[in-house]
Amino acid sequence: MYRFRDERGRVLYVGKAKSLRQRLQNYFQPLDSLHERTRRMVLSAVDVDWTIVKTEFEALQLEFTWIKEYEPPFNVQFRDDKSYPYLAVTMAEDVPRVSVTRNRKMKGARYFGPYTKVWAIRETLDALLKAFPMRSCSASVFNKARRDNRPCLLGDIGKCAAPCVGRVSEDEHRAIASRLVSFMAGGDLDFVEAVRAEMLAASDELQFERAARLRDQLTALETVLSKTSVVLADRVDADVFGLMHDELQASLHLFSVRGGRIRGTRSWVVDTELDLSESELALQLLRIAYDNDADPDVLSAPAREVLIPVLPESVSEVEHLLSGLRRKAGLTGRVSIRKAQRGEKKQLADSATANAAHAMQLARTSRSSDYVTRTQALTDLQDALGLDQAPLRIECFDISHLGGTDVVASMVVFEDGLPRKDQYRKFSVQGTTDDTASMHQVLTRRLRYLRDGDPEQSENSSRFSYPPQLLVVDGGLPQVNAAARAMAEASITPIPIAGIAKRLEELWLPGDDFPVILPRNSEALFLIQRLRDEAHRFAITYQRQKRSSAIESELARIDGLGPGRVKALLKHFGSAKRVRSASADEIAEVKGFGPALAATVHASLSPASMEASGTADEQDAAT
């Protein structure tokens, strides 16, 4: 185990390694060969100390303990502005109480959830009290009822056993609370069958009043079960994780499945300060998911089965650690960590991954909803690039092609930190397959509308609006220099240009030997990320549309194919690539295509036929 410290003794990073010498060699290399985030950590550190442990499991325990104790800034950091509601049962009290709460620090409480909606858990609690009539009132209400020897309304309508006035003893009331906890922990089907059998037995013994009470309890239990989704077999207890990450953040989504039903769901968004492999990232995210400040409870403790898209390092040691958390929570059974491969569990894991991607998208876009945050991002970008004014209008360009063919480009526009989709533009690039040449051509065409005194400028002002304060290109120094050449060739007032390197943290300026590094958590960096992603998305969308239009034109030339059959063919195969690779027999399966027509289509789309058609078109054009 090792710790990097700064000059004030603050722990910057906690890590573990089998070979300390080999691991430290990864850090102490020439600075220009290190990634910027690693470089900042190394330059900030003045000392490194280490602790030797006997086993990898001990190292794992110590790593988690140190990260929780020191909160080092360069380890994976938890970010979550949500406070989720839980169903809590205060088993440590003499007379336990059930309630809906966001407080996870009640001593001795058993928690269930989290739930995404408060109203959903309140409805569940209302139904539970019909089956398990235990105390749900506050301490002041309970003490007043005890002093007055008069129960509250819940006691009168059968939603509380009224221990405050002695209708049941404290031991009997605790037994009710224990049954509710067991029911929520996953023993729901056992309870339902037990109550059903007891109801039938009471009916056979002609105890009709008792049978009626059991009938009402059974109805309440079935109502609770109907509010939870059945996703897996009845006896399956699993924590299903979805993971999505990029260079800056990682998103984790959890489905807590108990008794085959989703009993809780939660999303996390974390900052990834240093470069981590996917297995290292998975380990740190498991640490965050099961790191609870409150006492361990049934649903926050690991399930017997943990499904995660990427297996962490040292799986057996992590299983041992999580099994210890289960034992601490009073649960039996070892934890098994694996990756879902097929079937219903794979489908649920895919759904968790989709939810993780959605949570990450929300985290990105939530920044744009705050005016102060957007203003800070533009100010930070102005300071980092040395601009005379904040770039209120930014245009970002991206080149996209498929193996050097179908070259297209996109231009996206952000004003005041928000996208202006009505001013997006797309370009079809001709005569070049090189990214730098393509970027030069696109910028030349864009800047043509900004030439000083150009008579077309006012005519096209609605198309390209006013000049931007910053031009951003997707690429490193070659693309930036190509854009700078286009700027120099245009007769306009120079506009600042910057390029986004692939690693995203680096901004290249024309003629500079070193990039501009934006601070890791700056709002400007997230704004640049959104620009890059939006330009890339828009370019890819246009290229796909272009390929689809191209094959529609090719198919329209074939005798016997009208618009209806062309549409049916593309709908059946889903893409131009699949149509081209389909055999004649596969084409014949499409409705409206016989063997003869299918053979004609297949022959017309063959490479030799397409090459001959292209040559004929070139000759016709030359003529």
Could you give the dihedral angle defined by the CA atoms of residues 99, 103, 108 and 114, in that order, rounded to the nearest 10 degrees?
Answer: 70
Residue 397 above 70 pLDDT?
yes
Average pLDDT over residues 55-79: 70
What pLDDT was estimated at residue 464? 64
Question: 3-state secondary structure string, 204-272?
Answer: HCCCHHHHHHHHHHHHHHHHHHHCCCECCCCCCCEEEEEEEECCCEEEEEEEEEECCEEEEEEEEEEEC
CATH T-level fold of 557-622: DNA polymerase; domain 1 (1.10.150)
Decide which of 217 and 509 is more confident. Answer: 509
What pLDDT was estimated at residue 297? 40
Residue 479 above 80 pLDDT?
yes
Beta bridge partners of 508: 499
Reported confidence tier of residue 453, pLDDT bands at 50, 70, 90: very low
What pLDDT was estimated at residue 304? 85
CA-wise closest residue to 473 among 395, 408, 381? 395
Average pLDDT over residues 70-92: 70
Residue 231 above 60 pLDDT?
no
Residue 233 above 70 pLDDT?
no
User: Considering the domain 2-75, what is its CATH architecture?
Assistant: 3-Layer(aba) Sandwich (3.40)
For CATH 3.30.420.340, the residue range(s) in the chain are 371-540
Reported confidence tier of residue 76, pLDDT bands at 50, 70, 90: low
Q: Are strands 77-79 and 261-271 parallel, antiparallel or unpaired?
A: antiparallel
Residue 460 above 70 pLDDT?
no
CA-wise closest residue to 299 among 329, 344, 321? 329
Q: DSSP secondary-structure letter at 403? A: T
Residue 387 above 70 pLDDT?
yes
Average pLDDT over residues 194-215: 76
Reported confidence tier of residue 463, pLDDT bands at 50, 70, 90: low
Supply the mean pLDDT for the chain: 77
What pLDDT was estimated at residue 615? 38
For CATH 1.10.150.20, the residue range(s) in the chain are 557-622
pLDDT tens digits along 136-172: 888 888 888 888 888 888 887 878 888 888 888 888 8
Residue 478 above 70 pLDDT?
yes
Reported confidence tier of residue 222, pLDDT bands at 50, 70, 90: low
Q: Are 413 and 424 in contact (CB under 8 A)?
A: yes
Statement: 371-540 belongs to CATH 3.30.420.340: yes
Decide which of 334 and 61 is more confident. Answer: 334
Structure-token pair, residue 298: 């049934």
Average pLDDT over residues 233-241: 76
Neighbouring residues of 619: CB distance < 8 A, sequence distance ≥ 6 = none
Q: Which of the listed ranges 183-197, 336-350, 359-373 does the model predict with the highest average pLDDT?
A: 336-350
For CATH 3.40.1440.10, the residue range(s) in the chain are 2-75
Q: What percent of the chain has a predicted confidence (pLDDT) above 70?
A: 75
pLDDT tens digits along 415-450: 888 888 888 998 888 877 788 888 999 999 888 887
What's the predicted TM-score (pTM) here? 0.49
Reported confidence tier of residue 292, pLDDT bands at 50, 70, 90: low
Residue 353 above 90 pLDDT?
no
Query: Is residue 56 classed as helix, strand or coil in its secondary structure?
Result: helix
CA-wise closest residue to 306 among 229, 236, 356, 246? 236
What pLDDT was estimated at residue 497? 92
Decide which of 296 and 175 is more confident. Answer: 175
Structure-token pair, residue 402: 């498929």
- The residue to which tokens 């876009």 are assigned: 365
What pLDDT was estimated at residue 465? 59
